[in-house]
Amino acid sequence: MRISELFAPTERVVFLHAHPDDETLSTGALILALRAAGNAVAVVTATRGERGEAMREYAALTPESLVAQRECELRRALEDLAVTDRAWLGTPPARAAGRPPRRYRDSGMRWVSPSVAGPSMDAGADALSLADVDEAAADLTAFLHAFAADVLISYDEFGGYGHPDHVACHRIAATVSGVRFVQVASPQRLGEPGQAVIDDPSVVRRWHTALANYPSQFRVVGDQVHHVGGQVQELSTATVLILGE
């Protein structure tokens, strides 16, 4: 399906993602297709990926320097994706009026199967997965209003591979009103009614350039991503979207 069949070029689109790299891995090709069609695109990142692992070359990073590394990687990737605007959830303009800035932190995770994640046993009190959904949704709403958004895109209820922060982003996005909510389909939901596939192979080179900005998290080898945990992900410019829920 062509991008123009789902999104008018005048529509302003916001993506909510859990950690730096999620926006490029799961929706980078879609973002580039939207930008090529003339849509303004913003990315709100919920956490800084504080509890993420790092590739062997970056294993010596302290927790603080890992965050700095991931913040830098995100900035460069969004530049390569030609993203119009960006924000951290909890920090103005993605913070509800009258509330002091806050930081939603990476909740951590554990593998419950080779490809499916589940909640960690030691998420901190300020973890995104434990945050008040209404508060986080109010923060997201503040950004949506500031950006004059028409469409919000985030995960479905399975969160892609089950990371608790991805699932939390779905709950937050689903709570927001006043914009059209479009979900990125997880493997469990592929092939269901009400889905559309956006695929623009012309963006593949620019997408791979954006992916290369995350050396602390994965390595791109041909048409595959080799993740820090050893998982291998096949790259495809096709994005399956769930409409109308």
Q: What number is the average pLDDT over the span 24-36?
A: 97
Residue 111 pLDDT: 79
Residue 109 pLDDT: 82
What is the CATH architecture assignment of 8-242? Answer: 3-Layer(aba) Sandwich (3.40)
At residue 36, does pLDDT exceed 70? Answer: yes
**Residue 1 confidence class, pLDDT cut points 50, 70, 90:** confident
Which two three-digit tokens encode residue 154? 């985030």
Query: Residue written as tokens 């986080």?
Result: 136
Residue 245 pLDDT: 64
Residue 18 pLDDT: 98
Q: What is the largest CA-CA distance in the chain?
A: 48
Q: What number is the average pLDDT over the span 214-232?
A: 92
Reported as a single tens digit per residue, the pLDDT across 179-191 is: 999 999 999 999 8
At residue 44, does pLDDT exceed 80? Answer: yes
Q: What number is the average pLDDT over the span 206-227?
A: 95
Which of 56-60, 128-132, 228-232 tops mean pLDDT?
A: 128-132
Which two three-digit tokens encode residue 183? 């979900």
Whether the full predicted model's pTM is greater than 0.85, yes or no, is yes
Distance CA 106, CA 115 (A): 19
Read off the DSSP letter of residue 127.
B
Residue 3 contacts by C-beta under 8 Å, 6 or more apart in sequence?
33, 34, 36, 37, 198, 200
**Residue 162 confidence class, pLDDT cut points 50, 70, 90:** confident
**Residue 5 confidence class, pLDDT cut points 50, 70, 90:** very high
CB count, 10 Å around CB of 241?
A: 19
Chain mean pLDDT for the chain:
94
Cross-strand bridge partners of residue 136: none
SS3 63: helix
Share of the chain above pLDDT 90, in %: 84
Which two three-digit tokens encode residue 212? 């290369």
Q: What number is the average pLDDT over the span 4-27?
A: 97
Distance CA 55, CA 32 (A): 26
Cross-strand bridge partners of residue 130: none
SS3 51: coil
**Residue 30 confidence class, pLDDT cut points 50, 70, 90:** very high
Q: Long-range contacts: 175-181, Cβ < 8 Å, 24+?
A: 175/133, 175/134, 175/137, 176/137, 176/140, 176/141, 176/144, 176/152, 178/141, 178/144, 179/14, 179/144, 179/149, 179/150, 179/151, 179/152, 180/150, 180/151, 180/152, 181/151, 181/152, 181/153, 181/154, 181/245
Domain ranges of the chain: 8-242
